[in-house]
Amino acid sequence: MSEYQLTAVGHIQSPYKQKFAIPRQPRLVPEAKAKLVFSSDFNREEFVRGLDEFSHIWLLFRFHETADKGYSAMVRPPRLGGNERKGVFATRATFRPNAIGMSAVKLEGIEYKNGQLSLLLSGIDLLDGTPILDIKPYLPYSDAMTDATAGFADTRPETDMSVEFSEEALAFIEKQTEQPELKAFISNVLKQDPRPAYKKQRDSEQSYGMTLYDFNIRWHVQDNHNTVTSIEKC
């Protein structure tokens, strides 16, 4: 078996500090802003010259949190409620032979500040600290296949989850002037219903917590309704 050595060109600074609540695909939560910080060997403007001519890019990355857990030939896609098995190559599951993922995200800008080169991104679906293996421009004429079919994932996931905020949570959000999209960000994350598939099937009333940016967020789920009960600094 051939072996290859890969070097990360940078890493992601993401609002998602834990796997729980990360959208299962990119661009489902457009308010999710992130930064790709280049490693020292690639921290030169020459590497990205001309990239600002493109609105979107592909990121090839490593599932660093699960890479050491090995791979599975068959997995249970959340889209199918976790009840049906599919071959790993027929899914985007993390437990892959080479632990490599790919995401198409929006390029908001290129930043060179205090000697550090970074890409400003939105619609991200990556864990904080994710190593980036490669970057490629998104080409609409080639990459957008209008006649494509996608099996069990042929349409965007539908959700009827509603979200409201307690007075306490709203008061906290109003004070976060540096995060003007915080309310919309939290709302769209929760509308994706990040609960495990088996929790959704039980339709149980339960409370959850997650960390976004440096905020601890608590919410309560009953039926298809989310109530954000509290938000506080980590």
Collapse the DSSP code of 223 into the 3-class scheme (helix H, G, I; strand E, B; otherwise coil) and give the result: coil
- What band does 202 get if pLDDT is binned at 50, 70 and 90? low
Whether the per-residue pLDDT at 9 is higher than 80: the answer is: yes
From the list 55, 50, 53, 154, the residue with the least C-alpha distance to 104 is 55
Please name the residue that has the structure tokens 């954000």. 228
Rounded Cα distance between 37 and 111, Å, is: 9
Ordered by start, the domain boundaries in the chain are: 10-143, 162-233
The answer to which of 28-42, 71-85, 113-127, 149-163 has the lowest mean pLDDT is 149-163
> Quick one: average pLDDT of 16-27?
92
Q: Determine contact, residues 14/128, Cβ cutoff 8 Å.
A: yes
Whether the per-residue pLDDT at 11 is higher than 90: the answer is: yes
> Quick one: average pLDDT of 120-137?
98
The predicted pLDDT at position 62 comes to 97
What token pair was written down for 136? Answer: 């490629």
pTM reported for the whole predicted model: 0.91
- Which residue type occupies 169? A
Phi, psi of 184 (to 5 degrees): -65, -35
Whether the per-residue pLDDT at 197 is higher than 80: the answer is: no
Decide which of 1.20.120.850, 2.40.30.70, 1.25.40.10, 3.40.50.10800 is the CATH code for 10-143.
2.40.30.70
Q: What percent of the chain has pLDDT over 90?
A: 79
Residues 6 or more apart whose CB falls under 8 angstroms from that of 61 comprise: 12, 100, 101, 102, 103, 126, 130, 131, 132, 133
Strands 162-165 and 206-212: unpaired
Domain 162-233: which topology? YaeB-like fold (3.30.2310)
Q: Do domains 10-143 and 162-233 have the same CATH topology?
A: no
The predicted pLDDT at position 153 comes to 82
> Quick one: average pLDDT of 217-230?
94
> Quick one: average pLDDT of 85-94?
94
The predicted pLDDT at position 51 comes to 99
Q: What percent of the chain has pLDDT over 70?
A: 97
